[in-house]
Amino acid sequence: MAITQIRPPLTDTRKYLKTETVNDLCHCSSVTKLNCHLTMSVHCILALLILVLTLDDQVYSGKITGGHEAVPHSRPYMVLLERNMSDGKKKYCGGFLLNEDFVMTAAHCQAKSYIVVLGLHSVHSSKETQRISVEEAFPHEQFNPISFVNDVMLLKLTTKAKFNENVKPIPLASRDNGTLPKSCILSGWGRTDKNNNYMSPTLMEISVTLIDDKKCAIENFYCSQGDTGPAEGDSGGPLVCEDGKAFGVVSSAVTPHSGGPDIYRYSKIPDSRNWIFSER
């Protein structure tokens, strides 16, 4: 199928309340300084109060299109990956726990440094979570940032993850037997609506049906198509199918030349198994 656009990053930057309103209310211009400060101080205090009260709700509360909130901690392998970028910004990806030492994510989620958050359901309640820094990142050496072939990466944790009811690894699919996996689930904290850039405050999940390989642009991807699917911030999360194994890694999306629903692509884990185990 011809493609006119590849939309690589299903990564996301969490949006915060803008402070331009506060700056505008606190700025004196043509009126006299005394009257300005007396009048503006009231507005300034009110604006700052609104800002403080809103900071605890920095994540847009919505639902991923066609999805629903996951049962809390029903996906104990899920990872929220905090990415500290070289420009000082913080961005987010998904990921999943392979064992006590390694997390898997997408290669296009590379950053200057990382924090792995385990055992998370709601971003507003993180008491039982484990926050672990990353010792070293291992993006696939043949990752192509244009086609997104081999869009997989391993992250070695600085300290071992502690397994419990909320933190458990997920097994990997062993091989691709030529038939498409059935009953696939995606989960993540990514963008909840195509019209905004806010992440979900709780873990969301959605069922997807994989399409025939001939409709998939590159052979080492699984693909799904439709108006529902992964969104920004979901990159690196697992495509979990059938018996609860990870079959793919959320990678990118493409827009068909003829229009129509987007095609979502997932790097095939069976194709990367030799590389995965050589790095571990």
Token pair 């799904």 in the structure block, residue: 224
Chain-centroid distance, C-alpha 217: 23
The class that CATH gives domain 1-13+59-280 is mainly beta
**Dihedral sign, Cα of residue 168, residue 271, residue 251, residue 68:** negative
Q: How far apart are CA 248 and CA 66, in angstroms?
A: 20
**What is the enclosing helix (H) or strand (E) of 42?**
helix 33-54
Residue 276's alpha-carbon distances to 71, 98, 244, in angstroms, are 30, 10, 19
| Predicted pLDDT at 255 | 82
Residue-level pLDDT, tens digit, the chain, 280 residues: 333 344 555 555 444 323 333 333 334 333 344 344 444 444 443 333 333 333 332 222 233 455 789 999 999 999 999 999 999 999 999 999 999 999 999 999 999 999 999 999 999 988 889 999 999 999 999 999 998 999 999 999 999 999 999 999 999 998 777 788 989 999 999 887 766 678 889 999 999 999 986 767 566 899 998 887 888 889 999 999 988 999 999 999 888 887 788 889 999 999 999 999 987 7
Q: What is the DSSP letter of 183?
A: S
Chain-centroid distance, C-alpha 39: 44
pLDDT digits (tens, 9 = 90+) for 16-29: 323 333 333 334 33
Q: Where are the domains of the chain?
A: 1-13+59-280, 20-57
pTM of the complete model? 0.76
| Predicted pLDDT at 11 | 57
| Predicted pLDDT at 230 | 86
Q: Hey, which residues are catalytic here?
A: 108, 151, 235
Other C-beta atoms closer than 10 Å to the C-beta of 216 total 20
| Predicted pLDDT at 65 | 53
- 119-123: Cβ within 8 A, 24+ apart: 119/73, 119/76, 119/164, 119/166, 119/167, 120/78, 120/80, 120/203, 121/70, 121/72, 121/73, 121/202, 121/203, 122/72, 122/201, 122/202, 122/203, 123/59, 123/80, 123/189, 123/199, 123/201, 123/202
